[in-house]
Structure 1
Amino acid sequence: MKVFLRGLAAVVSVFSVSVVANVLADAPDTDSVKAKIETTLKWRVDSIADSPVDGLLQVGTENGLFYVSKDGTYLLQARVYNLDAEMRNETELALADMRIEGLKQFDDSVIEFKADDEQYVVTVFTDTTCGYCRKLHEQIDEYNDAGITVRYLAYPRAGLNSPVYREMVSVWCSADPKKAMTNAKGGSSITPSSCENDIAEQFKFGRRIGVNGTPNIVLSNGSVIPGYQPPAQLLMALEQAAG
Structure 2
Amino acid sequence: MRKIFFSWVAMALLSFNVSAADADKEATIRAALSSLNSQVPIVAVADAAFPGLYEVTLASGEKLYVNDSGSHFIVGEVFRVETDGQLVNLTEEGKKASRVDQLAALKRDDMIVYPAKGETKAHLTVFTDTDCFYCRKLHGEIEDITARGIEVRYLAFPRAGAGSKTQKVMDAIWCADEADQVSLMNKAKAGQTIPMISCADSPVMDEYQLGQQMGVTGTPALVLEDGTMVPGYMPAAQLAGMLGVK
Q: Is the 8 A contact 2:55 2:66 kept in 1?
A: no
Q: Is the 8 A contact 1:58 1:65 kept in 2?
A: no
Post-superposition CA distance 1:63-92 (Å, at most 9, x none): 432214345555543111122575322111
1:66 corresponds to which residue? 63
Is residue 2:221 matched to residue 1:216? yes
User: Structure 1: how far apart are the matches of 2:36 and 2:46?
Assistant: 14
* Residue identity in the other structure for 1:208: Q
Secondary structure of 1:181's aligned partner: helix
Match 2:171 to one of 161, 169, 172: 169
Deviation at 1:194, TM superposition (A): 1.9
Match 1:238 to one of 213, 233, 243: 243
* Residue identity in the other structure for 2:144: E
User: Structure 1: how far apart are the matches of 2:165 and 2:49?
Assistant: 42
* Residue identity in the other structure for 1:104: A
1:92 corresponds to which residue? 92
Cα distance 1:183–1:73, how it changes in 2: closer, same or farther (>3 A)?
A: farther
User: Structure 2: how far apart are the matches of 1:160 and 1:73?
Assistant: 38
User: Structure 2: how far apart are the matches of 1:92 and 1:133?
Assistant: 24
1:79 corresponds to which residue? 77
Deviation at 1:234, TM superposition (A): 1.0
Q: Is the 8 A contact 2:30 2:42 kept in 1?
A: no
How many aligned positions are there?
219
Q: Is the 8 A contact 1:66 1:75 kept in 2?
A: no
Instruction: Answer with 1 or 2: which has the greater Rg.
Output: 1
Cα distance 1:60–1:161, how it changes in 2: closer, same or farther (>3 A)?
A: farther
Normalised by the length of structure 1, the TM-score is 0.79
2:9 corresponds to which residue? none
Percent identical across equivalent pairs? 32
Cα distance 1:168–1:35, how it changes in 2: closer, same or farther (>3 A)?
A: same
User: Structure 2: how far apart are the matches of 1:46 and 1:200?
Assistant: 22
Structure 2, gaps ≥5 residues long: 1-19
RMSD: 2.5
* Residue identity in the other structure for 1:110: M
Post-superposition CA distance 1:19-65 (Å, at most 9, x none): xx8543655524323423425xx535443433324454433335432
Question: Relative to total residues, which structure has the larger helix share, 1 or 2?
Answer: 1
Secondary structure of 2:37's aligned partner: helix
Secondary structure of 1:64's aligned partner: coil
Is residue 2:47 matched to residue 1:50? yes
Moved more, 84-93 or 141-150: 84-93
Q: Is the 8 A contact 2:127 2:220 kept in 1?
A: yes
User: Structure 2: how far apart are the matches of 1:82 and 1:94?
Assistant: 13
Q: Is the 8 A contact 1:34 1:48 kept in 2?
A: no
User: Structure 1: how far apart are the matches of 2:41 and 2:209?
Assistant: 11
Match 2:133 to one of 127, 131, 134: 131
